[in-house]
Amino acid sequence: MNIDQIMRAAPVIPVLVLEEEMDWAALAETFVAAGLPVLEVTMRTPLALEAIRKMSKVDGAIVGAGTVLNERQLGETVDAGSKFIVSPGLTEPLGKAVLQSGAAFLPGIANAGDIMRGLDLGLDRFKFFPAEASGGIPALKALAGPFGNIRFCPTGGVRPETAREWLALDAVLCVGGTWFVKAGDDLATVGERARAAAALAA
């Protein structure tokens, strides 16, 4: 799948910062059953690579790695089964390495210069990050103006109650959300949140 297909697969991509051991396959199955098959596991915790290995084997799950900062992490996450790579920013060395790896790529951008660097690499799908801190919906509307064919996944500060406003923008294909898995949650609770988010596509 290319990054456009991945971004169109569901309205919300759960951005998972995994702090506690869980049954990773069951977690992925919960999201897939709820209608959110695209899962971003961030490389912010030591559990991330093992979670990607287990989750990527689940039927219907499209598992990627987030907070990928360099080529070493890129190699680790692709080896673990990541189908797509998300980075908080865009550098030319990482961009070229991801494109060579064959993984789909969703780099973070916050301004026009970032977008233009991405265009130079042949990219036209970006994560707008950190979305709220970078000016929110007014900022993204202003950025989208000069770049008519570019599409975005706003992430960072997007909340369940604001997600629909973001998704209403023509330039937005999906949003990234961090609200799905909290300390002590059971899978039923996660599934409930995921179903509510999947319903935003209606």
For the chain of 202 residues, list the mean pLDDT of each consecutive stretch of 10.
98 97 97 98 97 98 98 98 98 97 97 97 98 98 96 98 97 98 94 98 77
pLDDT of residue 76: 98
What is the spatial order of strands in the sheet that 62-66 belongs to?
Answer: 151-154, 125-128, 104-109, 84-87, 62-66, 38-42, 12-16, 175-177
Counted domains in the chain: 1
Coil, strand or helix at 142: helix
pLDDT of residue 183: 87
* Residue 182 among the catalytic residues: no
Residue type, 146: P
Q: Which of 54, 14, 48 is nearest to 34 (CA)?
A: 14
Residue 160: asked if its preceding bond is cis (omega within 30°), the reply is no
Confirm if 200 and 180 have CB atoms less than 8 A apart. no
Which phi and psi angles does 67 have, rounded to 5°?
Answer: 55, 40
Q: CB atoms < 10 A from the CB of 101, how many? A: 16
What stretches of the chain adopt beta strand conformation (E)?
12-16, 38-42, 62-66, 84-87, 104-109, 125-128, 151-154, 175-177
- The residue whose two tokens read 């992490």 is 73
Report field, pTM of the whole predicted structure over 0.85 = yes
Domain that holds residue 187: 3-201
Which phi and psi angles does 106 have, rounded to 5°?
Answer: -130, 90
* Residue 127 among the catalytic residues: yes
Secondary structure (H, E, C), 173-187? CCEEECCCCCCCCCH
Which entry of 40, 54, 83, 132 is annotated as an active-site residue? 40
pLDDT of residue 201: 85
Which entry of 29, 54, 127, 132 is annotated as an active-site residue? 127
Type and span of the H or E element at 189: helix 187-198
Rounded Cα distance between 128 and 132, Å, is: 9
Rounded Cα distance between 133 and 144, Å, is: 17
- Kindly state the DSSP code that residue 159 receives in the 8-state scheme: -
- Say which CATH number the domain at 103 has: 3.20.20.70
